[in-house]
Every structure is written in structure tokens, then in C-alpha cells.
Structure 1
Amino acid sequence: MKIIIVGCGKVGATLAEQLSNEGNDIVIVDKDAEKVQDISNACDIMGVVGSGSSHNVQLEAGIREANLLIAVTGSDELNLLCCLIAKKAGNGCQTIARVRNPEYSQEVRFIREELGMAMVINPEQAAASEMARILRFPSAIKIETFANGHIELLQFRIGANSVLNNMRIADMGAKLHCEVLVCTVVRGDQVIIPDGNVVLQERDIVSIVAPPKMASQFFKKIKVQTDQVRDTLIIGGSTTAYYLAKQLLTMGIDVKIIDKNRERCEELSDLLPKATIICGEGTDQDVLMEEGVNWMDSFVTLTDVDEENILLSLFAKEHAPKIKSITKVNNTTFDEVINKLDLDSIIYPKYVTAEYIVRYVRAMKNTIGSNVETLYRLVNNRVEALEFVIRQSSPILDIPLEKLSLKKNLLIASIYRDGVLIMPNGQDVMSIGDKVIVVTTNQGLDDISDIVKER
């Protein structure tokens, strides 16, 4: 596919890297010549210097041949204008715009339909939704859903006293009397797509696939919390904090927000009358203790400074070991170091936004047989979990799995057929209409046929 990306910020650069790695023809557009050159050289793609809202610049970038234009500049209005011009100048080009202003959040459907856009994405709202999902199930580091919510993928860390310590994966079913599938194990820097002989260890980060009810039973068996948190303390009154608080209050969770800007606190008080808004220094340890960080169920750091967010979460864990912490981190340069710290869930907003868009691009490709219905990236983009729907033309239709020469580091995690979840073995086959979940460290799978080794 030919894709034009307007805007060379964090999200634009991430999209350029990920989409070019998947074999798409990428052109980036930005007014900043230095940024264009840096990203063009790093990703070996074409760059155009200029305003993405210029008709001539879009023509130079190849809008007439483009399949998709993605506008992720710092201006909502500029992004929308870029998409409007692309719809007029392009030849059936689809468009995606990043729109951050909360004032537009109530108008997303109107904007998308009237401008004929494929997607309007709000990064802060997307990140807030991710955080709210985690606080609904606080024992999990990350939660994703497949098959219209009938299948869940949950990540969690094995604690020091967990019954899973030193347990062989193959023995889990008999010992715990519940059927879940372990699809990844992260141990230090190592990412394992496990077989039944892998023995789980303390501090392993484990991903399981199961129906929601079975997942809940599993967590009860291993004695970890399955109920949503009762309350949360949010540091920083950002737009993300507003979206998160709004969702949590709807879920019946008590919310307290600390921000040092009095004007912003007054604004939040008007927008969120059911929340408690504290005007104070959220990085002050005395303020944190006074506001009850040591007895809160959860703690979310949303300041604009990554270092503050990390240190605040570590402080909370020090004074309240059982608290559920969520840490927002914008800079991914040191993500491997950060992931080794004693933090629960870490949210990288640019990854959340990029994942939504990459998921749409995968779905657009519609290759032979079946295409990607759902895509999630795990373990700092080192693992992909994909959902495929099997079509009649699929080349691996009705072939027993044991007869397929599957690629290394790839697991068929589940098959969802007519409302029934199948944890597949070698005799199972993929039939027309099945939803198949694949977990792999191989990047860029576009079709179910890509799971098989090339001859």
C-alpha cells in the first residue's frame, strides 16, 4: 500500500518505522526539513518538505496514487484540513486524522461521516480507555479482547508466593482445574513462545488466552484480585486525566486528582463534579501521604515528565505494596530499562495511537484467504497477537494443524467457532468462519497463510 504520513512527531515517526517495516510504500510530509531527513534516512523512505494541507505538496507526495493519508501533526484543524484536501485530490484515498481537543470528542461521528474519513483517533482518549480497562481488572498488566469480547488476552506478573512458581505449563490444567492457554512468557530480556515443558518462575510476565469467565476463575485459583479497584489517585490534571476520570466515575470508581495549576483545578471541578480535585504539588511526598496514597487501591501518574511519573509510581509501591500503579511514559528510548523496574502497568501513548492505526492498515490490505481482523502489540512491540477470520479461499482450510509447517516462535492460541472456544491441538483444523488467534514474535503477518513457513 502507498501511505502518506503528514507530521513527523513521535507518532508520525513510529508509524513511519512500523508501516515501512511491513513493506508499505511510505512518504512522510513535514515543514521541518531536518525531521523529514532524519526519518527518511532512518526508515529508507521518501520525504517531502512542506505543509501537508497544501494541494501542491500532496501532489508531490503522490496523493493520486496513495491508498491512505494519515495526518498526525500537532494541530487538530490542520489534520482535518489535510484529510479534506486528500479526499478531493486523491483517487479514492482513505484518510485518518489525529484529533486531540476534548471539544471535538462529542463530534467525532459527525466529523468522520461528513468528511468521509476512515478514522478519527484521540490519543489521550485511547490511552485513558486502556488505563480504565486495566483498573477494571487490576491484577493484569495488560488486557486485550478478541472475537467481539468473547476471548481475552491478559498479561500478569508472577509474584513471590504465587502457586504458579516452579509449575510446568503442561501441569497447569490438572493442578488448577481451569483451561487457559499460556501464549507468552517474558523472563528478563527474553521473550518465550512457550511449549508445555516451560517452567514458570517468579517475576515472569505471563500472557494467557481464555474466555472472560474462565480467566476470572483462573485468577481466583491463583489467588489474585479480580474485582475492579474501588478508588484511584491521579497525579496530573491533563486531558488524559479528564478522560480517565470520566470513565472511572461511570464505572463507580472514586476518583481524586492532584494538580498544581489552580485554574486547571477549577476547570476540572466544573467538568468532573463527582471527582475530588486537589490543588497541590503532586510530587510532594507529604501531599501524597496526606491524600491517602498508602490506602488507595490504585495510583496513576500522568504528569508531563516521564521521570516524575516513574519515581512517583515507585514511591507509591514503596508505601503501599498492594497498590495498582499505572505509569504514563512518552519517551521509549529507555523502555527496556523501565520495564525492569518494580512498576505494574506502563502506558506508552504513542504506541497506543500507532497500534490503532496499524491495525486499520492491516485490515485494509484484505489479502487472499483471510485478513487481520484485530491486532495487538505486546512486550514493547516484540510480540504480536492477531485475529484472523478464515475465508473459503484460504489455502490452509481444513488441514490438521499438525500437518502445517508453522513458522518458529508462533503459536495458534485459540479457535473461536460458533460461540465455542477451542484450545487447539494437532488434530484440530481451521474451518470457514472461524476466528483464529495467533501469537508470534514474527512481524508483519497480513494473512493466515503467513503462519506457514515458505517453501
Structure 2
Amino acid sequence: MKIIIVGCGKVGTTLAEQLNKENHDIIVIDKNAGVVNSISERIDVMGVVGNGAVNKVQMEAGIEDTDLLIATTNSDELNMLCCLIAKKAGNCHTIARIRNPEYDSQISYIREELGLSLAINPEMAAAMEISRLLRFPSAIKIDTFAKGKKEILKFIVPEHSVLNDMKVRDVLKRLNCNVLICAIEHNSEVVIPSGDSVIKAGDKISFIASPVESNEFFRQVGIDNTIIKTAMLVGGGKITYYVAKMLENTKIKVKILEQNAQRCNELSELLPKAMVIHGDASDQELLLQEGIGQTDAFASLTGFDEENIMLSLYAASQSKAKLITKINRIAFENVIDSMNLGSIIYPKLITAETILQYVRAMQNSMGSNVETLYKIVADRAEALEFKVVNEPCIVGIPLEKLELKENLLIAYIMRKGRFISPRGKDILEEGDRVIVVTTVTGLNDLKDILR
């Protein structure tokens, strides 16, 4: 597909990289010639220098035969205008990044009036992930399938866990837990496990289960899923605001540390149930005074990666709190993942996942659209939910007779509200939904699971 991306900031650049890997024809637009040239030299994309909201600039980028325009500049209003012009000039699909909390209540109206295909708020998406983690602190990552009926959770196997040295095939039999282990990260290696794969302490395990089943599984493997009662959030930005807002009707008491006095006053008015503290979180005495040693959860959400990393490492040394660390840059992902930073939140990757999901569904002409898509491990493993249409090469054929690609697992079949753990004799029927986990990234259609 031909895709125009307006705005080459963190989100725009990440999208250009991800979509380029999936063999789309990418054109980037930005006012900064240096940024455009840098991206064009680094990845195989065409660049146009100019204001993406100007019809002439969009014409130069080829809007008339474009399939999708994605506007990710720092201005919500500019993004909306870009999409409006693109809709008129090219009648293409449009996606706008809209971040201002003031627009939240009217986002449906904005989408309808401007003809937007998708409106994405990176900070709100990140906050939703954080709020899920605070409700289920044993996991370091949680995503949902089948409208929340199944979850994919990631956790680190503790040193003395019963799982250490256990084969995957023995998990159900020995623990009597109906969970499906679908990915194992051992050091820098990511594998889709077979029954003979062995789990080791320190491995990051991803598994699929219902919320009730996952609770029982954590209990059986000796991981305490302590209920979070207090949360300390450092940084008073948009993510912190959204997290505190989402937790207002829960029993979690929220404390926010922010060094800008004016922002503290704003947050105090917007979040009457939260305690807002004016102070510099890099001051260790302040953190100790405000109870870092006793808090159940600690989230470092400032705008600086280095500060977030240092704050989380300090919190880990002072408490047993559930740690959440926001990271904007992903250049040193392997190094960051090796640190004790708890759950790492990459807002721009969350945004990219959402848009990639939409793009894959859009380009699919066969109808077996990607309903849901999650990156389990950055660019190395994905979990996807497909809807099954009448595809003769797949429907009605026993799974054991399908020539599936390597490193691919059909995790669950959902049929008329019932979940089926697939065996070799099972078949796929039209109307089913299927969860697939694979290290073969870039699947667009259910038939792509075949060799």
C-alpha cells in the first residue's frame, strides 16, 4: 500500500520503520529538511519537505493515489487538518494522532465529522496499559483478546519457582492450570515453545488464559499477586493524568510527584482524589519522605528516559513495589530489558501496534482480517487474532494436515462464545476467531500461516 506519514517525530519515525519492514510504499512529510533527509537515508522511504496540511505539499507526495495518510505531528489541530485535506484531495483512509485531553469527550464526533478512519492517543493508550498492570501486578505486560475474555500475560520466572526446569507439556498436568504457554524469551532468544521446551528461572514467559485462570496459575507457581493499594507516579504529564483519572473509581490511592508548581496546581484541580506533591523526584530524601519504601506501585513517567531508569532502579533498591518505567527511545532495548525496571512502557510502540493492526486489516482483500495484533517482543514475535472466512485451503481441514509455517502456534479457537484448545483433529469453521502466536512477523491474512 502507499502510505503518507506527516510528522517525523518519535511516533512518525517508528511507524515509517515498521511499515517499511512490511513492504509498504512510504512517503514522509515534515517541515524540517534535516529530519526528512536523515530518515530517507536510513530507511527506504521517499521524503517531502513542507507543511503536510498544505494541499500542494500533499499533491507533491502523491495524495491522489495514496491508500492511507497518517498525521502524527505535535499539533492535534494540524493533524486533523492534514486528514481533512487528504480526505478531500485523495479520498483515502486517514489516521490522526489526537493527544489533548480536552478532545476526549468529543472524539467520536471528530472522527465522524472529519471522516477519520482512526484517532489514536498514545498517552491514553499507554495509560490504559499501565492501569491494567496496576490491577494485575504479577505481570510485566498484559494484552487482551476476544473482548477481554482471554489475556496474554508476560512474567519473569522467579529463581525458586516450581516452573524452573519444567517442560511446557508438564505445566497443565502438574499444576492443573488451563493456560497456554505461547512464547519463551531466554536471554536474547525468542522461541515459540514445543511440548519439550524447558522453562528456566529468569526466562520471560508469555501465556494465554482467562483472568480467572491466570490468577490461579500465578498462585500455583508461587507468584504473589498482591492487590495494589497505593501508587506513586513521578512526572505530571499526560500519561500520569490519564492513569490517575482511570484509577479514580478504584481503591488505589494515587500520589503524584511533579516539580513544576503550575502543573501541580492544574493537576490538583483536574484530579481532586489524587495527592499532588510539588518537588523534584531526583531528591532521594523527598522520595523517602513521601513513602517510596512503603508504596505498592512506583511508576516513573517523566519525559526523560535516563531519569525514569534511574528512578526505577532506586525504587527497586528501596522497596518491593510494582515497577513501571516509561521509555521513549528504543535504541538500547536489549540493554534496557536486562535491567530491573519492571514493566517497560513504550508509548510510541503501543501507537505503532494499533496503527499496524489497522493497516493489516485494510490491505487484506480476502476478509480474514487481523482483528487484534500485539507485539510480544518488539519486532520478533506477534500474537494475532483472525476472523475466519470461507477459505478452502484452511476451513474444514484437520489442523494436523495443514502445512503450517515453523515457529507458529495456533493458540485458541473461539467458536460461538466457546474456547477450544486446538488439537490435531480439530478444524477451523467459517465465523471462528483464531489466536495465532508466531515469530514470523508480518502476517496479513489467516492463509499466511501456511507455508
Fold-level match, TM-score > 0.5?
A: yes
Aligned to 1:47, the other structure's residue is in SS state: strand
* 1:3-402 mapped onto 2 (5 Å cutoff): 3-90=3-90, 92-226=91-225, 228-320=227-319, 322-368=320-366, 370-402=368-400
| TM score, norm. by length of structure 2 | 0.98
Q: Residue type of the partner of 2:69?
A: L
Deviations 1:361-420 (A, max 9, x none): 111123325121110012223211100011013521111111111111111111111222
Q: Residue type of the partner of 1:140?
A: A
Structure-2 change in CA distance of 1:137 and 1:86 (3 Å): same
Shift of 1:41: 2.7
Shift of 1:227: 5.4
Structure-2 change in CA distance of 1:421 and 1:226 (3 Å): farther
Q: Residue 235 of structure 1 contacts residue 258 of structure 1 at CA under 8 Å; is this kept in 2?
A: yes
Aligned to 2:96, the other structure's residue is in SS state: strand
Deviations 1:257-302 (A, max 9, x none): 0111111111111111110111111111111111111111100001
Aligned to 1:396, the other structure's residue is in SS state: coil
Cα distance between partner residues in 1 of 2:372 and 2:226: 26
Shift of 1:43: 2.3
Cα distance between partner residues in 2 of 1:224 and 1:94: 45
Cα distance between partner residues in 1 of 2:291 and 2:98: 35
Q: Residue 368 of structure 1 contacts residue 394 of structure 1 at CA under 8 Å; is this kept in 2?
A: no
Q: Which residue of 2 aligns with 1:422?
A: 420
Give unpaired runs (5+ residues) of structure 2.
none
Q: Which residue of 1 aligns with 2:432?
A: 434
Cα distance between partner residues in 2 of 1:222 and 1:405: 35
Aligned to 1:64, the other structure's residue is in SS state: helix
Q: Residue type of the partner of 2:290?
A: E
Runs of 4 or more consecutive aligned structure 1 residues displaced over 4 Å after TM superposition: none
Q: Residue type of the partner of 2:140?
A: I
Cα distance between partner residues in 1 of 2:143 and 2:157: 19
Shift of 1:447: 0.5
Deviations 1:95-138 (A, max 9, x none): 11111222222221111111111111111111111111111110
Q: Residue type of the partner of 1:55?
A: N
Cα distance between partner residues in 1 of 2:374 and 2:388: 19
Q: Which residue of 2 aligns with 1:2?
A: 2
Give unpaired runs (5+ residues) of structure 1.
none
Deviations 1:229-278 (A, max 9, x none): 11100011111111111111223311000111111111111111110111
Q: Residue 394 of structure 1 contacts residue 449 of structure 1 at CA under 8 Å; is this kept in 2?
A: no
Structure-2 change in CA distance of 1:324 and 1:394 (3 Å): farther
Shift of 1:426: 1.5
Cα distance between partner residues in 2 of 1:323 and 1:234: 12
Q: Residue type of the partner of 1:79?
A: N
Aligned to 2:65, the other structure's residue is in SS state: coil
Cα distance between partner residues in 1 of 2:344 and 2:32: 31
Aligned to 2:153, the other structure's residue is in SS state: strand
Aligned to 2:130, the other structure's residue is in SS state: helix
Q: Residue type of the partner of 2:81?
A: L
Q: Residue type of the partner of 2:58?
A: Q
Q: Residue 136 of structure 1 contacts residue 227 of structure 1 at CA under 8 Å; is this kept in 2?
A: no
Q: Which residue of 1 aligns with 2:442?
A: 444
Deviations 1:184-221 (A, max 9, x none): 00011111111111111111100001122222221222
Q: Residue type of the partner of 1:414?
A: Y
Q: Residue type of the partner of 1:328?
A: K
Aligned to 1:250, the other structure's residue is in SS state: coil
How many residue pairs get aligned? The number is: 451
Deviations 1:59-106 (A, max 9, x none): 11111111111000111111111011111111x311111112222222
Q: Residue type of the partner of 2:371?
A: E
Q: Residue 211 of structure 1 contacts residue 421 of structure 1 at CA under 8 Å; is this kept in 2?
A: no
Structure-2 change in CA distance of 1:394 and 1:102 (3 Å): farther
Aligned to 1:19, the other structure's residue is in SS state: helix
Aligned to 2:14, the other structure's residue is in SS state: helix
Aligned to 2:42, the other structure's residue is in SS state: helix
Cα distance between partner residues in 2 of 1:149 and 1:119: 21
Q: Residue type of the partner of 1:67?
A: D
Q: Residue type of the partner of 1:21?
A: K
Aligned to 2:177, the other structure's residue is in SS state: coil
Cα distance between partner residues in 2 of 1:392 and 1:200: 38
Q: Residue type of the partner of 1:155?
A: K
* 1:397-416 mapped onto 2 (5 Å cutoff): 397-416=395-414
Cα distance between partner residues in 1 of 2:15 and 2:131: 25
Question: More deviation in 379-388 or 31-40?
Answer: 31-40
Question: More deviation in 210-219 or 107-116?
Answer: 210-219
Aligned to 1:249, the other structure's residue is in SS state: coil
Cα distance between partner residues in 1 of 2:333 and 2:215: 30
